[in-house]
Amino acid sequence: MLENLEMDDGDSPAIGLVPPGVSWDEVRDHIKIAHGHLLVPDGSDHVGAYWTGTEMALVGDLGPDQDEAIAEFRVFLQEHDET
């Protein structure tokens, strides 16, 4: 489990902000247990990660700006009933 994640909970759903350097295996393990939504830095881009009920799903190409990536990921989650 990832501990002490910063959360963006100003709107629904809340999104955990993964710090740089966390491996995808650690992200997958966290999501399998916590079933939360995570924004993961991936090079100069951000990727959204969430649990579908059976596996981790990714939403790529959210852009380099963290605030914009959070907003885009949140819209995706709402549009796909993943809140």
What is the CATH number for 21?
3.30.505
Single-letter code of the amino acid located at 5: L
CA distance 13 to 23: 23
28-55 pLDDT tens trace: 999 999 999 999 999 999 999 999 999 9
Task: Provide the whole-model pTM.
Answer: 0.94
Does a structural domain hold residue 69?
A: yes
- The number of domains in the chain is 1
CA distance 59 to 4: 23
Helices (H), 1-83: 24-34, 66-79
Does a structural domain hold residue 27?
A: yes
**Tokens representing residue 61 in the block:** 């190409």
Does a structural domain hold residue 51?
A: yes
Closest CA to 66 of 31, 26, 17: 17
- For residue 39, give its domain range: 6-78
Share of the chain above pLDDT 70, in %: 100
Does a structural domain hold residue 83?
A: no
Does a structural domain hold residue 1?
A: no
